[in-house]
């Protein structure tokens, strides 16, 4: 949770002028490298709780500071526990607008297959930043 608090402290700071924050969680990948499925599940459950906390805090921040945020959740690569190494399989990807309505599709689960059937479909990692710049320039 320390990373989440540090992240929030930095995006709360409007004086610094930051308009982009990146929170990377490495432990889940490390558990997969160790082929420790139980640890990986436990870590993902902790990540779920942290994301819930972050989403609520960013919503509060958007209301207090009258700001808009894009929250993006994805993985930088896959690391199947059975393989114990990185693979080049697709990763799930979701974008959430905070302080504005970005619209929604019918996807209710955050997993590779469900997300690939959403309104964003499948795309290359090199398309992520241009996509986010396009969306953020529209609000």
Question: Which residue, 86 or 96, has its beta carbon nearer to Zn ion?
Answer: 86
- Minimum Å gap between C-beta 25 and Zn ion is 12
- Minimum Å gap between C-beta 86 and Zn ion is 5
- Minimum Å gap between C-beta 79 and Zn ion is 5
- Minimum Å gap between C-beta 81 and Zn ion is 12
Binding site for Zn ion (CB under 5 A): 29
Quote the CA–CA distance of 112 and 117 in Å, as a whole number.
Answer: 9
For 10, phi then psi, to 5°, come to -75, -35
Question: Which residue, 29 or 40, has its beta carbon nearer to Zn ion?
Answer: 29
Question: Which residue, 37 or 60, has its beta carbon nearer to Zn ion?
Answer: 37
Dihedral-angle region of residue 134 (phi above 0 means left; psi in -120 to 50 means alpha; beta otherwise): alpha
Q: Which pair of structure tokens corresponds to residue 82?
A: 């059975």
Alpha-helix residue ranges (DSSP H) falling in the chain: 2-12, 27-33, 37-65, 112-116, 128-136
Question: Which residue, 52 or 76, has its beta carbon nearer to Zn ion?
Answer: 76
């Amino acid at each position: 949770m320390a990373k989440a608090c540090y992240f929030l402290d930095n995006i709360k700071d409007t004086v610094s002028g930051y308009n982009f924050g990146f929170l990377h969680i490495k432990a889940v990948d490390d558990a997969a490298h160790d082929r420790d499925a139980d640890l990986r599940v436990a870590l993902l459950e902790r990540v779920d709780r942290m994301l819930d906390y972050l989403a609520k805090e960013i919503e509060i921040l958007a209301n207090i500071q009258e700001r808009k945020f894009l929250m993006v959740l994805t993985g930088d690569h896959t690391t199947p526990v059975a393989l114990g190494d990185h693979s080049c399989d697709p990763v799930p990807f979701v974008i959430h607008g905070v302080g504005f309505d970005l619209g929604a599709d019918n996807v209710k689960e955050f997993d590779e297959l469900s997300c690939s059937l959403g309104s964003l479909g499948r795309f290359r990692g090199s398309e992520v930043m241009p996509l986010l710049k396009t969306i953020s320039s529209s609000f």
